[in-house]
Structure formats: C-alpha cells, structure tokens
Chain A
C-alpha cells in the first residue's frame, strides 16, 4: 500500500513541482495537495495522512500551527502507526 502524503503551500507551482517529482515512483506515494492551512485541515479530516509536508510561512495559520493540528487530528484516527511530521524550515 502506498503512503498517503499531503503537501501544503500557498504557491501552487511549488505543489505542482513536488507532485511531479514524487510521481517518479507513483506506486510509493499517494499525493494530495492543499493551497493553505484551511484547505489542509479539511483534507486532514477526510484522510488519515501518513505525512504532511508544509510551508512554514503562509498567510493566516502558519505551518507550525498546522502541524500541531495535524498531530491532534491524526491521533483521532484509529491507526496511529507510521505517521510523520515535517515542516519546511523558513529559508
């Protein structure tokens, strides 16, 4: 079974670029994307992602707050195994 991964960034080109790179091994990744924290939260409640990769600086809720939400939402799903939390550091 492929890993479910959510990419979050307010720059759509970043999301497209990452998705293309990850498509190299499509059997390994099941990639979803969100253009901001609000959209990401909606997705997180629908799907129990294994990993979230998010931009740190975004308008409104930033990446760090989003990851804290992700941890809380993720623990509500029955299967707590194999989760990963990662934030892209601001450059």
Chain B
C-alpha cells in the first residue's frame, strides 16, 4: 500500500505543519483547501488515508466524510478528523458521519504520526481483507462450477457409476444407475448397497468389493449376469476401484458398471464367424476332397450306364436263341450271331467289373457324406457354451475337413481311446484348436522335406484318460521347435512363417481357448530333428458325466414304454 495521505484544511499554516510531519515520516502528501477540491483529488488520486479539518467554510469535515462514504467506486478510505478542543464532545457525531479517528488541535506530532500509522495498518488490513474476500468468493464460485461440472459429467456418463462408503452405504448413484438398475437416486442414497433390490449376481459383486478392499487395487469382473428392470437378461462388466480420501482416514469404493451384453453377443458371433471363415479357408481343400469321389462315382455310373444296354441286348439275343431252340434245332447262323455279340460285348469283363463299380460308387458317396458331416460338425453352428462332447468324434471330423491340408505330406494315425469319457467343452473352439495344431504339424513336416518326394511324415493323434483328465496328444515328425522359439510360440503375433502366410494367432488362440475357456492346459514336447508333440489336457468333470448320461436314460425310458 502506497504511503499517501490527503490533507484537507482551509488554514495554509496548518496544512504546511501537518504535511511537514508526514513527509518527515516518508509519506507522500496531497493537499486540498476545501471539501470540493478534496473530492476532486480523492477521485483522481485515490489516497488511502484522509486527514481533514472539521471546521471549514462551505463544506465541513463531516460533510466531506459523508460525501466520501457515499461515493461509489471509492474503496475503503481511513478518515481522520482534526478537531478543536470545543468540538471534542461531538466526536460521536463525527464517527457517525463516517470518520475513523479524530485528533484534537493543537496536536502532538508523535501522536499524529502514531494515529496515521495505525490508520495505514488498518487500511492495509482492510485492503488485504477485501482481496482475500474477493479471492474466496471467486474460489467458491469456481468450486461450485467445478462441482456442477463433475455432477454433469457423472450424470452424463452412459454407464452406471456407484460409490459405496466404508460402511457399505451408497454415496453416489448417477442417472445411468437409475436407468439401468431401476432404482432412483433418492431410494439409493444413504442405503446399504448390498440391500438394494437389484436382480443380479450379488455374490459376484460383493466378492469384487471385498477383494478390492483387501488388495486396494482395481478389480474387474465380467460375466455378471443381471435381469433388466423391464425383463430380459444381460451381462455386466463391473470395475471396482478403491478410493482413498486425502487424509487417509476414510475409504470408499467406486463401481463402474457396463452393460456388455451386446459386446458378448458380438464376441460369440465373431467366434462363429471365425469358425466359418476357417471353413471358408479350408473350402478349396474340401472341394478337392469332394471332387475326387465325385469324379470316380460319375465315371462308374457312366460305365454302368453304357454296360446296361449291352447286357440287355445280349440277354435279348439269348432269349431269342432259347425260343428258337425250344422249337427245334438252332440254325448255325443264329449261333454265330450270338457268339459275335458276346465277343463284342465282353460280358465276362462287364460282369467282373460291375460289382466293383457299384462298391466304389457307394464308397465314394459315403466319403462325400462323411466330409459333409464333418464340415457340419466342425463349424458347429448350433451350439454355444459348454456341452458334454465326444472329443474322439470331434477330432475325426476336424482331421477329415483338413485332410487336403495334410494328406500330401503326412500319414494320419488316429489312436483314439474308445473309453474316453465325454468332456464339457465348447466344441467349435475345441475343433479350431485341433485344426490349428494339425495344420501346423503338416506345415512343419512339409518344411522338413516331407513334400519333396522323400516320403511322407506322420501325424499321430492319440486320446486317453489320465488322472481325471482327457489327454490329447498331437505329434508330428517335423523338424522340432528350435530352443530360441520355445518360450515364444504361444505369444500373439509370433510366427516363423513368411509375411502374409501366418498371422501368429493360431497357438495364442489355442492356448486362450484351452486355458481360459476350458481350464485345461496346452503344453508341448519337442526335439530338434525328431518332431513335436502338443499335449492338451481337459478336466473331465462329474458334470460332464451327468449331462452325457441324461439323454441315454431318457432313451432307455422311452424304449421301455
């Protein structure tokens, strides 16, 4: 604060005297001879402190005080009135007019300075106070704004956002929570979260919160089943975050709830699409597998078509010969005629070949039917989720649809344990895993030279039950996996195939399916130069047994009736 003082007095001697004292104490002094001039200086220079004589012609010191106090735009000014002894009784009147202090004339210089200094301190404090108040006001306004903005953000969040305090009471419940969970904020606020009437897997949510409480780490739970307020089932993904207050004495839990029903459905559709896509990729090979039997079935049919009229013709001639012979001795030319026809038709050859042509045709048709069946089983469009499955049958189907991928480089040996129990399994995904590993095995053998006339390799698939698990071993006689690749083969995007040939997703996908979806294991044994064996182990749960037996019981029941 600038040390400036305005002196107002109609007595020039007084002005000079007071000014002298103040200047001596490093004050900048402004002067005015009357009230009006004082007001002009006041507005122009804005001194923080004014010392005015009481008795002045025209406009008294008291009038000046009132004028200053009434003028808008003048901040706090400290007013000191100089009074003659006679006017001392009227001090109250002066204070009422707006003066802050008074000083009797004649005055003591030290007292004057002491009172001016005190005044200046008050002015400084007053000014600080004004500043602080303004700041506080602004900060408050900002805080309100920020709070409103936070509310707005919370409310406009499309996902339910719920906050639960350490006592388990709801302290935040946004509009999305109202909408999705069907409970209004008024009914939720302050109530125990675990007592709210929400149709969802409460145990899963409670588990997530207590896990978050103990680990203080965000916890994510997917697959939380719920029923919408308007009916209809869905799946939530919920993230629970631990909120620590700044003084560390309190905690809360923030739940962000996402309706991932559609996402889940898309994932299922995507998995289905990927299966169909791999059927598509196998299509060229499958077409070839179907074409081969189609070729020889139609060749044989054409052969039978040609053979039949020839045999018909021959039969007609024999009948004619029979009729003639019944009537009497056969004429020589008729016998020559029949003999010529037999030479031409070669019935011995036809009779020898026809059974084979029929057998080959039926076998060809069976082969086509088998491929079509295998395609249907492989793509498995009818089934989602876990069901008790015959893994042997699944392996046979998959190996069949993929036949064209391996048959040129390898013999396929299936050693499938007929006593293998059914296993709870997502068959479409399982087939995909077998396909990936079998195709990899074929590629490995081809790389080892199985394709260049050095004899075929062998792919062996065995199944057996071991220690309550179904074990599937897929072995190849390829070159084995080099040491430096062994810890990478299950990584996403890792591939040894040339760019554009392998995506590096096959084994990563296989491990995810086996480990995450089936709680099984996928491991491998490999020896460079000898080959690789992939080993899948799936738990055989008691559930699988139960589901398998059920239809058989039903069958027995209906047969018994």
Binding site for B on A (CB under 8 A): 11, 13-14, 16-18, 20-21, 23-24, 26, 37-38, 57-61, 90-91
Interface residues of B in 513-548 (CB under 8 A from A): none
- CA gap between A21 and B297 in the complex, in Å: 11
Q: Can you list 8 residue pairs at the A/B interface with Cβ under 8 Å?
A: A13-B293, A13-B360, A16-B296, A17-B357, A20-B357, A21-B303, A23-B349, A60-B455
Q: Is the CB of A91 within 8 A of B288?
A: yes
Q: Is the CB of B299 within 8 A of A17?
A: yes
- State the Cβ distance, A23 to closest chain B Cβ, in Å: 7
- CA gap between A75 and B293 in the complex, in Å: 34
B293 nearest in chain A by CB position: A13
Which listed residue, B287, B302, B360, B408, touches A21 by the CB 8 Å rule? B302
- CA gap between A17 and B453 in the complex, in Å: 26
B291 nearest in chain A by CB position: A91
B496 interfacial by beta-carbon distance below 8 Å: no
**Which label, helix, strand, loop or mixed, suits the secondary structure of the B interface?**
helix
Task: Write out the residue numbers on chain B whose beta carbons fall within 8 Å of the beta carbon of A61.
Answer: 453
Known interface pairs A59-B456, A61-B453; A20-B353 also in contact (CB < 8 Å): yes
- CA gap between A82 and B346 in the complex, in Å: 29
- CA gap between A20 and B7 in the complex, in Å: 136
Which listed residue, A24, A57, A59, A91, touches B306 by the CB 8 Å rule? A24
B299 nearest in chain A by CB position: A17
Interface residues of B in 472-504 (CB under 8 A from A): none
Task: Write out the residue numbers on chain B whose beta carbons fall within 8 Å of the beta carbon of A59.
Answer: 407-409, 451, 456
A26 nearest in chain B by CB position: B346
B300 interfacial by beta-carbon distance below 8 Å: yes
Q: Is the CB of B288 within 8 A of A21?
A: no
Q: Is the CB of A57 within 8 A of B288?
A: yes
Q: Is the CB of B302 within 8 A of A13?
A: no
B292 nearest in chain A by CB position: A11
Which listed residue, B299, B452, B455, touches A18 by the CB 8 Å rule? B299
B363 interfacial by beta-carbon distance below 8 Å: yes
Q: Which of B297, B299, B353 neighbours the largest number of chain A CB atoms within 10 Å of its CB?
A: B299
Interface string of B269-288 (1 = CB under 8 A from A): 00000000000000000011
Q: Is the CB of B303 within 8 A of A13?
A: no
Q: Is the CB of A13 within 8 A of B363?
A: yes
- State the Cβ distance, B47 to closest chain A Cβ, in Å: 105
Task: Write out the residue numbers on chain B whose beta carbons fall within 8 Å of the beta carbon of A21.
Answer: 299, 302-303, 306
Which listed residue, A16, A23, A91, touches B360 by the CB 8 Å rule? A16
Task: Write out the residue numbers on chain A whose beta carbons fall within 8 Å of the beta carbon of B346.
Answer: 26
Q: Is the CB of A20 within 8 A of B300?
A: yes
- CA gap between A37 and B298 in the complex, in Å: 24
- CA gap between A57 and B408 in the complex, in Å: 8
Q: Is the CB of B364 within 8 A of A13?
A: yes
Which listed residue, B303, B364, B408, B409, touches A20 by the CB 8 Å rule? B303
B356 interfacial by beta-carbon distance below 8 Å: yes
- CA gap between A26 and B310 in the complex, in Å: 14
Task: Write out the residue numbers on chain A whose beta carbons fall within 8 Å of the beta carbon of B320.
Answer: none
B100 interfacial by beta-carbon distance below 8 Å: no
Known interface pairs A17-B295, A20-B300, A21-B302; A90-B360 also in contact (CB < 8 Å): no
Interface residues of B in 288-341 (CB under 8 A from A): 288, 291-293, 295-300, 302-303, 306
Q: Is the CB of B349 within 8 A of A60?
A: no
Task: Write out the residue numbers on chain B whose beta carbons fall within 8 Å of the beta carbon of A18.
Answer: 296, 299
Q: Which of B353, B409, B453 neighbours the largest number of chain A CB atoms within 10 Å of its CB?
A: B453
Which listed residue, A14, A57, A58, touches B295 by the CB 8 Å rule? A14
Task: Write out the residue numbers on chain A whose beta carbons fall within 8 Å of the beta carbon of B291.
Answer: 91
Known interface pairs A23-B303, A58-B408, A60-B453; A17-B288 also in contact (CB < 8 Å): no
Task: Write out the residue numbers on chain A whose beta carbons fall within 8 Å of the beta carbon of B349.
Answer: 23
Task: Write out the residue numbers on chain A whose beta carbons fall within 8 Å of the beta carbon of B306.
Answer: 21, 24
A37 nearest in chain B by CB position: B453
B303 nearest in chain A by CB position: A20
Known interface pairs A20-B353, A23-B303; A11-B296 also in contact (CB < 8 Å): yes
B306 nearest in chain A by CB position: A24
Task: Write out the residue numbers on chain B whose beta carbons fall within 8 Å of the beta carbon of A14.
Answer: 292, 295-296, 299
- CA gap between A14 and B296 in the complex, in Å: 5
- CA gap between A18 and B357 in the complex, in Å: 11
Q: A17-B300, A91-B291 are in contact. List 5 more A-B contacts (CB 8 A).
A: A11-B292, A13-B364, A21-B302, A61-B453, A90-B288
- CA gap between A58 and B409 in the complex, in Å: 9
Top 3 closest A-B pairs, CB basis?
A: A17-B299, A17-B296, A60-B453
Task: Write out the residue numbers on chain A whose beta carbons fall within 8 Å of the beta carbon of B353.
Answer: 20, 23
- State the Cβ distance, B526 to closest chain A Cβ, in Å: 25
- CA gap between A24 and B409 in the complex, in Å: 36
Task: Write out the residue numbers on chain A whose beta carbons fall within 8 Å of the beta carbon of B407.
Answer: 59
Q: Is the CB of B287 within 8 A of A91?
A: yes
- State the Cβ distance, A61 to closest chain B Cβ, in Å: 5
Task: Write out the residue numbers on chain B whose beta carbons fall within 8 Å of the beta carbon of A38.
Answer: 453
- State the Cβ distance, A70 to closest chain B Cβ, in Å: 17
B453 nearest in chain A by CB position: A60
- CA gap between A26 and B451 in the complex, in Å: 37
Task: Write out the residue numbers on chain A whose beta carbons fall within 8 Å of the beta carbon of B299.
Answer: 14, 17-18, 20-21
